[in-house]
Amino acid sequence: MRVSVDKITTWDELDAKKATGRPLFIFKNSTTCPVSREAFSEVKGFVQGYDGEAPVVYLNVQEARELSNRIAEEYGVKHESPQLLLIDDTEVKWHASHWKITEKAISRALSDQT
């Protein structure tokens, strides 16, 4: 079992992660926001309890602003941080921001897609 959340900084890295053909979570993190820190903790808690290769990547918006903006544009979801999107290759299946990012909500969103 692989228990990690992989950091991405480019669209090419995101494309490579999407190539599995499975649903994928993208977490937009702010390195200066306490709410983001708590949400990231919830994401990591989900990953720890996930049975299989964790379908989660993250980006720090301060370091990858261009990628963050492109995700918002490509998927049609206004940027917020913290923000978590569940995507398949071409569309957002679920998204949440701020305090709505919880282990329970993440698990429920993924189980609704599989």
| pLDDT tens per residue across all 114 residues of the chain | 455 789 999 999 999 999 888 899 999 999 999 999 999 999 999 998 887 766 899 999 999 999 999 999 999 999 999 999 999 878 999 999 999 999 999 999 988 876
Tell me the CATH architecture of domain 6-113. 3-Layer(aba) Sandwich (3.40)
Q: Distance between CA 63 and CA 31 in Å, rounded?
A: 9
Write the CB contacts of 91 (distance below 8 Å, at least 6 apart in sequence): 75
What are the residue boundaries of the structural domains of the chain, listed by start?
A: 6-113
Taking the CA atoms of residue 16, residue 17, residue 22 and residue 26 in that order, the dihedral angle to the nearest 10 degrees is: -140
Taking the CA atoms of residue 110, residue 100, residue 4 and residue 11 in that order, the dihedral angle to the nearest 10 degrees is: 80
Q: What is the pTM of this model?
A: 0.92
